[in-house]
Structure 1
Protein backbone atom coordinates (compact mmCIF):
# COMPACT_ATOMS: atom_id res chain seq x y z
CA UNK A 1 0.00 0.00 0.00
CA UNK A 2 1.15 3.49 -0.78
CA UNK A 3 -0.13 6.88 0.31
CA UNK A 4 -0.54 9.65 -2.24
CA UNK A 5 0.98 12.98 -0.99
CA UNK A 6 -1.44 15.89 -0.51
CA UNK A 7 -1.52 19.48 0.67
CA UNK A 8 -3.86 20.28 3.55
CA UNK A 9 -5.83 23.49 3.20
CA UNK A 10 -8.63 25.16 5.03
CA UNK A 11 -11.19 23.57 2.66
CA UNK A 12 -11.14 20.25 4.47
CA UNK A 13 -9.23 18.16 1.89
CA UNK A 14 -8.56 14.56 2.87
CA UNK A 15 -5.93 12.06 1.61
CA UNK A 16 -6.59 9.18 -0.76
CA UNK A 17 -5.27 5.67 -0.17
CA UNK A 18 -4.17 3.76 -3.27
CA UNK A 19 -3.87 -0.04 -3.49
CA UNK A 20 -2.50 -2.26 -6.17
CA UNK A 21 -5.81 -4.06 -6.89
CA UNK A 22 -8.35 -1.25 -7.34
CA UNK A 23 -9.06 2.43 -7.56
CA UNK A 24 -7.98 4.79 -4.84
CA UNK A 25 -10.47 5.26 -2.07
CA UNK A 26 -10.92 8.27 0.16
CA UNK A 27 -9.73 7.90 3.75
CA UNK A 28 -11.24 10.24 6.40
CA UNK A 29 -8.61 12.46 7.98
CA UNK A 30 -7.89 12.26 11.68
CA UNK A 31 -8.60 15.83 12.77
CA UNK A 32 -7.88 15.52 16.46
CA UNK A 33 -4.08 15.97 16.39
CA UNK A 34 -4.32 18.47 13.52
CA UNK A 35 -6.64 20.79 15.50
CA UNK A 36 -4.56 20.47 18.65
CA UNK A 37 -1.33 21.55 16.92
CA UNK A 38 -2.05 25.34 17.05
CA UNK A 39 -2.97 25.04 20.73
CA UNK A 40 0.27 23.19 21.49
CA UNK A 41 2.31 25.74 19.57
CA UNK A 42 0.58 28.56 21.45
CA UNK A 43 1.36 26.97 24.81
CA UNK A 44 4.99 26.49 23.81
CA UNK A 45 5.21 30.15 22.79
CA UNK A 46 3.97 31.51 26.13
CA UNK A 47 7.32 31.11 27.96
CA UNK A 48 9.10 32.78 25.04
CA UNK A 49 6.67 35.73 25.08
CA UNK A 50 7.05 36.07 28.86
CA UNK A 51 10.85 35.95 28.60
CA UNK A 52 10.83 38.58 25.85
CA UNK A 53 8.65 40.82 28.01
CA UNK A 54 11.06 40.61 30.95
CA UNK A 55 14.15 41.06 28.77
CA UNK A 56 13.00 44.32 27.17
CA UNK A 57 15.60 47.04 27.71
CA UNK A 58 14.64 49.50 30.43
CA UNK A 59 14.09 53.09 29.30
CA UNK A 60 17.30 55.14 29.49
CA UNK A 61 19.14 51.98 30.56
CA UNK A 62 17.71 52.19 34.09
CA UNK A 63 18.40 49.39 36.57
CA UNK A 64 17.19 49.72 40.18
CA UNK A 65 17.92 47.08 42.82
CA UNK A 66 16.01 47.33 46.12
CA UNK A 67 17.39 45.58 49.19
CA UNK A 68 15.82 44.78 52.54
CA UNK A 69 14.91 48.02 54.24
CA UNK A 70 16.36 48.72 57.66
CA UNK A 71 14.10 51.64 58.60
CA UNK A 72 11.69 52.80 55.92
CA UNK A 73 10.78 55.92 57.88
CA UNK A 74 14.28 57.39 57.95
CA UNK A 75 15.58 59.06 54.80
CA UNK A 76 18.65 57.16 53.61
CA UNK A 77 21.97 58.82 52.90
CA UNK A 78 23.22 58.90 49.31
CA UNK A 79 26.58 58.22 47.69
CA UNK A 80 28.06 57.17 44.35
CA UNK A 81 29.75 53.79 44.09
CA UNK A 82 31.58 53.58 40.80
CA UNK A 83 28.85 53.66 38.16
CA UNK A 84 25.81 53.66 40.48
CA UNK A 85 23.89 55.80 42.93
CA UNK A 86 23.43 54.06 46.27
CA UNK A 87 21.06 54.84 49.12
CA UNK A 88 22.19 53.41 52.44
CA UNK A 89 21.14 53.38 56.07
CA UNK A 90 23.00 56.02 58.08
CA UNK A 91 23.20 53.89 61.24
CA UNK A 92 24.32 50.56 59.80
CA UNK A 93 25.76 51.49 56.41
CA UNK A 94 23.67 48.76 54.78
CA UNK A 95 22.49 49.58 51.25
CA UNK A 96 18.79 50.23 50.80
CA UNK A 97 18.77 50.48 47.01
CA UNK A 98 21.12 51.07 44.09
CA UNK A 99 20.44 52.68 40.74
CA UNK A 100 22.64 52.54 37.65
CA UNK A 101 22.25 53.30 33.98
CA UNK A 102 23.83 51.32 31.18
CA UNK A 103 26.80 53.13 29.65
CA UNK A 104 26.67 56.09 32.06
CA UNK A 105 28.03 57.05 35.45
CA UNK A 106 26.83 59.58 38.02
CA UNK A 107 28.84 62.79 38.42
CA UNK A 108 26.88 64.63 41.09
CA UNK A 109 24.13 63.98 43.64
CA UNK A 110 21.60 66.32 45.22
CA UNK A 111 19.80 64.83 48.23
CA UNK A 112 16.58 66.73 49.02
CA UNK A 113 13.54 65.61 51.04
CA UNK A 114 11.95 62.70 49.20
CA UNK A 115 14.21 62.99 46.15
CA UNK A 116 17.57 61.66 45.01
CA UNK A 117 18.59 63.83 42.07
CA UNK A 118 21.59 62.69 40.03
CA UNK A 119 23.56 64.19 37.15
CA UNK A 120 25.10 61.65 34.73
CA UNK A 121 28.07 62.02 32.43
CA UNK A 122 25.86 61.79 29.33
CA UNK A 123 24.07 65.02 30.32
CA UNK A 124 20.97 63.38 31.81
CA UNK A 125 19.41 64.41 35.13
CA UNK A 126 17.28 61.84 36.97
CA UNK A 127 15.13 61.84 40.10
CA UNK A 128 14.66 58.65 42.14
CA UNK A 129 12.28 58.10 45.05
CA UNK A 130 14.75 58.53 47.89
CA UNK A 131 13.06 56.49 50.63
CA UNK A 132 12.74 53.15 48.87
CA UNK A 133 14.00 53.52 45.30
CA UNK A 134 10.58 52.40 44.10
CA UNK A 135 10.63 54.55 40.96
CA UNK A 136 12.79 56.74 38.79
CA UNK A 137 10.30 59.60 38.55
CA UNK A 138 11.72 61.51 35.61
CA UNK A 139 14.65 61.99 33.23
CA UNK A 140 15.68 65.31 31.73
CA UNK A 141 18.38 65.83 29.11
CA UNK A 142 20.39 69.03 29.61
CA UNK A 143 21.16 70.60 26.20
CA UNK A 144 24.81 71.06 25.20
CA UNK A 145 26.06 69.61 28.48
CA UNK A 146 27.51 66.16 27.65
CA UNK A 147 30.62 67.49 25.88
CA UNK A 148 31.20 70.17 28.54
CA UNK A 149 30.94 67.61 31.36
CA UNK A 150 33.94 65.77 29.84
CA UNK A 151 36.20 68.84 30.04
CA UNK A 152 38.40 69.86 32.99
CA UNK A 153 36.41 73.09 33.21
CA UNK A 154 33.43 71.09 34.51
CA UNK A 155 35.41 70.38 37.73
CA UNK A 156 33.52 67.19 38.44
CA UNK A 157 30.15 68.91 37.87
CA UNK A 158 30.52 70.93 41.08
CA UNK A 159 27.60 73.31 41.55
CA UNK A 160 25.60 72.06 38.57
CA UNK A 161 22.74 70.77 40.76
CA UNK A 162 21.33 73.39 43.12
CA UNK A 163 18.17 73.45 45.28
CA UNK A 164 16.14 76.63 44.82
CA UNK A 165 14.12 76.42 48.03
CA UNK A 166 14.71 74.85 51.48
CA UNK A 167 12.31 71.96 50.87
CA UNK A 168 13.82 71.04 47.53
CA UNK A 169 10.63 71.57 45.57
CA UNK A 170 12.53 73.39 42.81
CA UNK A 171 15.85 72.37 41.30
CA UNK A 172 18.32 74.46 39.31
CA UNK A 173 20.69 72.93 36.75
CA UNK A 174 23.53 75.38 36.11
CA UNK A 175 25.68 75.03 32.98
CA UNK A 176 27.84 77.64 31.21
CA UNK A 177 25.12 78.36 28.64
CA UNK A 178 22.05 78.58 30.89
CA UNK A 179 20.35 78.08 34.23
CA UNK A 180 17.25 75.88 33.99
CA UNK A 181 14.76 75.32 36.81
CA UNK A 182 12.69 72.15 37.18
CA UNK A 183 9.89 71.24 39.54
CA UNK A 184 11.08 68.30 41.62
CA UNK A 185 7.69 66.59 41.81
CA UNK A 186 7.44 65.89 38.08
CA UNK A 187 10.52 67.36 36.37
CA UNK A 188 8.48 70.11 34.71
CA UNK A 189 10.67 72.85 33.21
CA UNK A 190 9.61 76.10 34.87
CA UNK A 191 12.04 78.71 33.54
CA UNK A 192 15.32 79.13 31.66
CA UNK A 193 17.83 81.95 32.07
CA UNK A 194 20.46 82.07 29.27
CA UNK A 195 23.87 83.60 29.87
CA UNK A 196 24.46 87.07 28.45
CA UNK A 197 26.27 87.23 25.07
CA UNK A 198 30.02 86.98 25.58
CA UNK A 199 29.52 85.63 29.13
CA UNK A 200 29.19 82.20 30.71
CA UNK A 201 27.95 80.90 34.04
CA UNK A 202 30.41 79.12 36.33
CA UNK A 203 28.49 76.53 38.37
CA UNK A 204 31.39 75.95 40.79
CA UNK A 205 31.40 79.66 41.68
CA UNK A 206 28.00 79.91 43.30
CA UNK A 207 26.83 80.69 46.81
CA UNK A 208 23.49 80.81 48.59
CA UNK A 209 22.32 83.90 50.46
CA UNK A 210 18.99 83.38 52.20
CA UNK A 211 16.49 82.53 49.45
CA UNK A 212 18.79 83.64 46.63
CA UNK A 213 21.34 81.62 44.68
CA UNK A 214 24.20 83.79 43.43
CA UNK A 215 26.02 82.48 40.37
CA UNK A 216 29.16 83.97 38.78
CA UNK A 217 28.80 84.98 35.12
CA UNK A 218 32.24 86.18 33.98
CA UNK A 219 32.38 87.96 30.64
CA UNK A 220 35.11 88.20 28.00
CA UNK A 221 34.77 91.97 27.80
CA UNK A 222 36.81 93.45 30.64
CA UNK A 223 34.66 96.58 30.53
CA UNK A 224 31.56 94.66 31.67
CA UNK A 225 30.63 95.91 35.16
CA UNK A 226 30.95 93.38 37.94
CA UNK A 227 27.26 93.74 38.77
CA UNK A 228 26.47 92.16 35.41
CA UNK A 229 28.87 89.28 36.12
CA UNK A 230 26.91 88.07 39.13
CA UNK A 231 23.36 86.71 38.72
CA UNK A 232 20.86 86.19 41.56
CA UNK A 233 18.04 83.68 41.10
CA UNK A 234 15.46 81.92 43.25
CA UNK A 235 12.72 79.40 42.55
CA UNK A 236 10.77 82.04 40.60
CA UNK A 237 13.63 83.01 38.29
CA UNK A 238 16.05 85.91 38.12
CA UNK A 239 15.67 88.38 40.95
CA UNK A 240 14.91 91.78 39.47
CA UNK A 241 12.67 94.64 40.61
CA UNK A 242 8.94 94.49 39.84
CA UNK A 243 8.75 90.90 38.67
CA UNK A 244 5.38 89.47 37.66
CA UNK A 245 4.68 86.46 39.90
CA UNK A 246 3.94 82.99 38.51
CA UNK A 247 3.50 79.93 40.71
CA UNK A 248 5.56 76.76 40.43
CA UNK A 249 3.15 74.44 42.24
CA UNK A 250 1.57 71.40 40.63
CA UNK A 251 -1.65 72.14 38.70
CA UNK A 252 -4.52 72.59 41.14
CA UNK A 253 -2.21 73.14 44.13
CA UNK A 254 -2.10 76.27 46.25
CA UNK A 255 1.12 78.23 45.60
CA UNK A 256 2.72 78.50 49.03
CA UNK A 257 4.05 81.96 49.71
CA UNK A 258 3.77 83.21 46.13
CA UNK A 259 1.36 86.01 47.03
CA UNK A 260 3.51 87.22 49.94
CA UNK A 261 6.65 87.11 47.85
CA UNK A 262 4.92 88.90 44.99
CA UNK A 263 4.20 91.79 47.31
CA UNK A 264 7.94 91.95 47.95
CA UNK A 265 8.73 92.06 44.23
CA UNK A 266 9.55 88.38 43.56
CA UNK A 267 8.46 86.70 40.34
CA UNK A 268 9.98 84.81 37.42
CA UNK A 269 12.29 86.31 34.88
CA UNK A 270 10.53 87.18 31.61
Structure 2
Protein backbone atom coordinates (compact mmCIF):
# COMPACT_ATOMS: atom_id res chain seq x y z
CA UNK A 1 0.00 0.00 0.00
CA UNK A 2 1.26 3.47 -0.87
CA UNK A 3 1.11 6.30 1.64
CA UNK A 4 -0.53 9.17 -0.21
CA UNK A 5 -0.86 12.89 0.41
CA UNK A 6 -4.55 12.44 1.15
CA UNK A 7 -3.89 9.76 3.78
CA UNK A 8 -1.16 11.83 5.44
CA UNK A 9 -3.26 15.00 5.66
CA UNK A 10 -6.24 13.02 6.89
CA UNK A 11 -4.29 11.33 9.69
CA UNK A 12 -2.39 14.46 10.69
CA UNK A 13 -5.42 16.73 10.29
CA UNK A 14 -3.21 19.22 8.46
CA UNK A 15 -3.76 21.47 5.46
CA UNK A 16 -0.38 20.85 3.83
CA UNK A 17 2.47 18.34 4.02
CA UNK A 18 4.96 20.96 5.27
CA UNK A 19 2.72 21.54 8.30
CA UNK A 20 2.88 17.92 9.45
CA UNK A 21 5.11 17.55 12.53
CA UNK A 22 3.82 14.22 13.90
CA UNK A 23 2.37 11.25 12.03
CA UNK A 24 1.20 7.86 13.28
CA UNK A 25 0.85 5.16 10.61
CA UNK A 26 1.06 2.11 12.90
CA UNK A 27 -0.21 -1.06 11.22
CA UNK A 28 -1.33 0.53 7.94
CA UNK A 29 0.15 -2.18 5.65
CA UNK A 30 2.47 0.37 4.05
CA UNK A 31 5.07 -0.62 1.46
CA UNK A 32 5.65 2.72 -0.32
CA UNK A 33 6.57 5.78 1.79
CA UNK A 34 7.98 7.95 -1.01
CA UNK A 35 5.68 10.79 0.16
CA UNK A 36 8.18 11.54 2.93
CA UNK A 37 10.57 13.06 0.41
CA UNK A 38 8.15 16.03 0.51
CA UNK A 39 7.89 16.22 4.32
CA UNK A 40 11.04 17.97 5.51
CA UNK A 41 9.39 19.32 8.68
CA UNK A 42 8.13 16.08 10.19
CA UNK A 43 9.61 15.47 13.65
CA UNK A 44 8.02 12.26 14.94
CA UNK A 45 7.14 9.28 12.73
CA UNK A 46 5.47 6.06 13.86
CA UNK A 47 5.69 3.47 11.08
CA UNK A 48 5.77 0.26 13.11
CA UNK A 49 3.99 -2.91 11.98
CA UNK A 50 4.06 -2.29 8.23
CA UNK A 51 5.91 -3.79 5.24
CA UNK A 52 8.44 -1.04 4.60
CA UNK A 53 11.72 -2.22 3.03
CA UNK A 54 13.44 1.00 1.91
CA UNK A 55 14.31 4.01 4.08
CA UNK A 56 15.58 6.15 1.19
CA UNK A 57 12.54 8.50 1.24
CA UNK A 58 13.40 9.49 4.82
CA UNK A 59 16.82 10.93 3.92
CA UNK A 60 15.36 14.39 3.43
CA UNK A 61 13.37 14.51 6.67
CA UNK A 62 16.01 16.71 8.29
CA UNK A 63 13.80 17.70 11.25
CA UNK A 64 13.13 14.10 12.30
CA UNK A 65 13.79 13.47 16.00
CA UNK A 66 11.95 10.19 16.65
CA UNK A 67 11.44 7.29 14.23
CA UNK A 68 9.63 4.04 15.03
CA UNK A 69 10.11 1.20 12.51
CA UNK A 70 9.52 -1.94 14.60
CA UNK A 71 8.20 -4.98 12.74
CA UNK A 72 8.72 -3.99 9.13
CA UNK A 73 10.56 -5.65 6.22
CA UNK A 74 13.89 -3.82 6.29
CA UNK A 75 16.25 -6.39 4.72
CA UNK A 76 19.65 -4.93 5.60
CA UNK A 77 21.18 -2.55 8.13
CA UNK A 78 22.67 -0.78 5.12
CA UNK A 79 19.28 0.91 4.79
CA UNK A 80 20.11 2.85 7.97
CA UNK A 81 22.74 4.75 5.99
CA UNK A 82 19.85 6.76 4.54
CA UNK A 83 19.32 8.16 8.04
CA UNK A 84 22.84 9.58 8.41
CA UNK A 85 21.86 13.08 7.17
CA UNK A 86 19.25 13.30 9.95
CA UNK A 87 21.40 15.04 12.56
CA UNK A 88 18.47 15.63 14.92
CA UNK A 89 17.44 11.98 15.14
CA UNK A 90 17.69 10.88 18.78
CA UNK A 91 15.16 8.05 19.19
CA UNK A 92 15.01 5.04 16.86
CA UNK A 93 13.22 1.69 16.93
CA UNK A 94 14.19 -0.99 14.39
CA UNK A 95 13.60 -4.19 16.38
CA UNK A 96 11.87 -7.21 14.80
CA UNK A 97 13.07 -6.46 11.27
CA UNK A 98 14.95 -9.01 9.12
CA UNK A 99 18.04 -6.74 9.27
CA UNK A 100 18.44 -7.28 13.03
CA UNK A 101 19.83 -10.79 12.56
CA UNK A 102 20.49 -13.35 15.28
CA UNK A 103 23.10 -11.39 17.26
CA UNK A 104 21.40 -8.51 19.11
CA UNK A 105 24.70 -7.23 20.51
CA UNK A 106 26.35 -6.95 17.10
CA UNK A 107 23.20 -5.40 15.63
CA UNK A 108 23.03 -2.73 18.33
CA UNK A 109 26.71 -1.77 18.03
CA UNK A 110 26.44 -1.57 14.24
CA UNK A 111 23.41 0.72 14.42
CA UNK A 112 25.18 2.98 16.93
CA UNK A 113 28.30 3.16 14.81
CA UNK A 114 26.17 4.28 11.88
CA UNK A 115 24.04 6.68 13.96
CA UNK A 116 26.17 7.76 16.95
CA UNK A 117 23.87 10.68 17.86
CA UNK A 118 21.09 8.38 19.07
CA UNK A 119 20.02 8.70 22.71
CA UNK A 120 17.65 5.73 22.69
CA UNK A 121 17.60 2.62 20.50
CA UNK A 122 14.75 0.09 20.66
CA UNK A 123 13.48 1.66 23.88
CA UNK A 124 16.85 1.29 25.62
CA UNK A 125 18.99 4.28 26.60
CA UNK A 126 22.31 4.51 24.76
CA UNK A 127 25.32 4.78 27.09
CA UNK A 128 28.68 6.45 26.48
CA UNK A 129 30.34 3.06 26.94
CA UNK A 130 28.19 1.56 24.17
CA UNK A 131 29.01 4.39 21.80
CA UNK A 132 32.72 4.06 22.48
CA UNK A 133 32.55 0.30 21.89
CA UNK A 134 30.48 0.80 18.74
CA UNK A 135 33.26 2.90 17.18
CA UNK A 136 35.59 -0.11 17.30
CA UNK A 137 33.30 -3.18 17.40
CA UNK A 138 30.32 -2.15 15.27
CA UNK A 139 30.32 -3.00 11.59
CA UNK A 140 30.85 -0.16 9.13
CA UNK A 141 27.83 0.30 6.86
CA UNK A 142 28.36 1.34 3.26
CA UNK A 143 26.17 4.03 1.74
CA UNK A 144 23.55 2.52 -0.62
CA UNK A 145 23.99 3.39 -4.32
CA UNK A 146 20.68 5.25 -4.48
CA UNK A 147 21.18 7.29 -1.35
CA UNK A 148 20.81 11.06 -1.16
CA UNK A 149 24.50 11.39 -0.30
CA UNK A 150 25.56 9.54 -3.46
CA UNK A 151 23.12 11.44 -5.66
CA UNK A 152 24.67 14.73 -4.53
CA UNK A 153 28.14 13.57 -5.57
CA UNK A 154 27.47 12.29 -9.11
CA UNK A 155 27.77 15.50 -11.14
CA UNK A 156 30.88 16.51 -13.12
CA UNK A 157 33.72 14.53 -14.66
CA UNK A 158 35.18 11.78 -12.49
CA UNK A 159 38.79 12.91 -12.80
CA UNK A 160 37.94 16.52 -11.99
CA UNK A 161 35.88 15.44 -8.98
CA UNK A 162 38.73 13.34 -7.66
CA UNK A 163 41.23 16.20 -7.93
CA UNK A 164 38.85 18.68 -6.30
CA UNK A 165 38.11 16.25 -3.50
CA UNK A 166 41.81 15.54 -3.05
CA UNK A 167 42.73 19.22 -2.77
CA UNK A 168 39.81 19.99 -0.48
CA UNK A 169 40.45 17.01 1.79
CA UNK A 170 44.16 17.78 2.07
CA UNK A 171 43.53 21.46 2.86
CA UNK A 172 40.75 20.81 5.36
CA UNK A 173 42.58 17.97 7.06
CA UNK A 174 45.74 20.05 7.52
CA UNK A 175 43.75 22.98 8.91
CA UNK A 176 42.30 20.71 11.56
CA UNK A 177 45.67 19.06 12.26
CA UNK A 178 47.17 22.55 12.79
CA UNK A 179 44.44 23.43 15.30
CA UNK A 180 45.18 20.20 17.15
CA UNK A 181 48.90 20.94 17.24
CA UNK A 182 49.71 18.20 14.71
CA UNK A 183 52.10 18.43 11.76
CA UNK A 184 50.45 18.91 8.33
CA UNK A 185 50.39 16.00 5.90
CA UNK A 186 52.23 16.36 2.59
CA UNK A 187 50.49 15.81 -0.73
CA UNK A 188 52.14 12.43 -1.19
CA UNK A 189 50.01 11.25 1.71
CA UNK A 190 46.97 11.94 -0.49
CA UNK A 191 47.64 9.85 -3.64
CA UNK A 192 45.27 10.16 -6.61
CA UNK A 193 42.23 7.93 -6.31
CA UNK A 194 42.44 7.04 -10.00
CA UNK A 195 46.15 6.20 -10.19
CA UNK A 196 47.32 2.57 -9.97
CA UNK A 197 48.49 1.61 -6.52
CA UNK A 198 50.11 -1.28 -4.81
CA UNK A 199 48.64 -3.13 -1.88
CA UNK A 200 50.81 -1.11 0.52
CA UNK A 201 49.81 2.25 -0.96
CA UNK A 202 46.14 1.26 -0.80
CA UNK A 203 46.56 0.53 2.88
CA UNK A 204 48.24 3.91 3.38
CA UNK A 205 45.46 5.65 1.47
CA UNK A 206 42.83 3.91 3.56
CA UNK A 207 44.50 4.98 6.80
CA UNK A 208 44.89 8.54 5.54
CA UNK A 209 41.23 8.83 4.61
CA UNK A 210 40.21 7.27 7.92
CA UNK A 211 42.26 9.84 9.83
CA UNK A 212 40.89 12.59 7.62
CA UNK A 213 37.31 11.49 8.30
CA UNK A 214 37.88 11.41 12.06
CA UNK A 215 39.47 14.86 12.11
CA UNK A 216 36.71 16.36 9.98
CA UNK A 217 34.12 14.80 12.27
CA UNK A 218 35.61 16.34 15.42
CA UNK A 219 34.55 19.86 14.55
CA UNK A 220 30.88 18.78 14.30
CA UNK A 221 30.76 17.04 17.67
CA UNK A 222 29.54 18.57 20.90
CA UNK A 223 31.16 18.08 24.32
CA UNK A 224 29.28 14.87 25.13
CA UNK A 225 30.13 13.30 21.78
CA UNK A 226 33.79 14.30 22.09
CA UNK A 227 33.93 12.51 25.45
CA UNK A 228 32.71 9.33 23.72
CA UNK A 229 35.42 9.65 21.06
CA UNK A 230 38.02 10.25 23.76
CA UNK A 231 36.92 7.11 25.63
CA UNK A 232 37.08 5.04 22.45
CA UNK A 233 40.55 6.38 21.64
CA UNK A 234 41.83 5.57 25.13
CA UNK A 235 40.41 2.03 24.87
CA UNK A 236 42.05 1.56 21.48
CA UNK A 237 45.41 2.85 22.73
CA UNK A 238 45.26 0.47 25.69
CA UNK A 239 44.49 -2.45 23.36
CA UNK A 240 47.44 -1.57 21.11
CA UNK A 241 49.72 -1.19 24.15
CA UNK A 242 48.65 -4.59 25.50
CA UNK A 243 49.18 -6.21 22.08
CA UNK A 244 52.66 -4.67 21.74
CA UNK A 245 53.59 -5.90 25.21
CA UNK A 246 52.54 -9.47 24.31
CA UNK A 247 54.57 -9.41 21.09
CA UNK A 248 57.57 -7.63 22.58
CA UNK A 249 57.70 -8.47 26.29
CA UNK A 250 59.87 -6.24 28.43
CA UNK A 251 63.20 -7.90 29.14
CA UNK A 252 64.18 -7.45 32.74
CA UNK A 253 67.83 -8.02 33.72
CA UNK A 254 68.52 -11.11 35.74
CA UNK A 255 69.16 -10.48 39.39
CA UNK A 256 72.79 -10.83 40.46
CA UNK A 257 73.28 -14.01 42.43
CA UNK A 258 74.33 -13.43 46.02
CA UNK A 259 77.17 -15.55 47.39
CA UNK A 260 76.67 -17.02 50.84
TM-score relative to the length of structure 1: 0.25
TM-score using structure 2 length: 0.26
Q: Which has the higher contact order (CA 8 A, sep 6+)?
A: 2
Pick the structure with more strand per residue.
Answer: 1
The structure whose Rg is larger is: 1
